[in-house]
Amino acid sequence: MLKKINHVNIVVSKLEETKAFFIQLGFEIGDESELSGDWISSIVGLPDVNARYVTLSLPGTETNLELIEYTSPPSEKDPNMDKANQIGFRHIAFEVDNIEDEVCRLKDMGVKFLSAIHTYPKTGKRLVYLWGPDRILLELAQY
């Protein structure tokens, strides 16, 4: 029986830059390490793996983000990864208390948003999308 979502893993091109971005959002570092050898190559099904990762979490939550940068074998960028209609992982949504305040805070840090804040008429949820490093698609949502 599944118990909970433990983490979401995101492959990134610049681990330090992406880690800094999520720390600005309010995440805290849990663990950092290098990964290499037959054991990790066997797990992920790739030859000669050499990678670095960091685990990040929001205070008071149980689900972590795990960012990983592969130096070997090199990662390939999907040119359509940032499009909302692509099959597969699409975005991570973060619940916020005050969406206007959070958008202002992030804009002051140079974060670019895809649009203004919108309201989903069916539920009243207020939301906006933004891109993180590597054009990782993120959502802010106020319920």
Please give the pLDDT value at position 108: 96
1-42 confidence digits (pLDDT tens): 878 889 999 999 999 999 999 999 999 999 999 999 999 999
pTM, rounded to two decimals: 0.88
What pLDDT shows up at residue 2? 75
Query: Could you tell me the domains of the chain?
Result: 7-72 (3.10.180.10), 92-142 (3.10.180.10)
Q: Are 58 and 27 in contact (CB under 8 A)?
A: yes
pLDDT digits (tens, 9 = 90+) for 125-141: 999 999 999 989 999 99
- Residue-wise pLDDT for 113-129, tens only, equals 999 999 999 999 999 99
Helix (H) / strand (E) containing 102: helix 99-108
113: DSSP letter: B
Contact indicator for 12, 67 with CB cutoff of 8 Å: yes
Quickly list DSSP for 24-70. Answer: HHT-EEEEEEEEESHHHHHHHT-SS-EEEEEEEE-TT---EEEEEEE
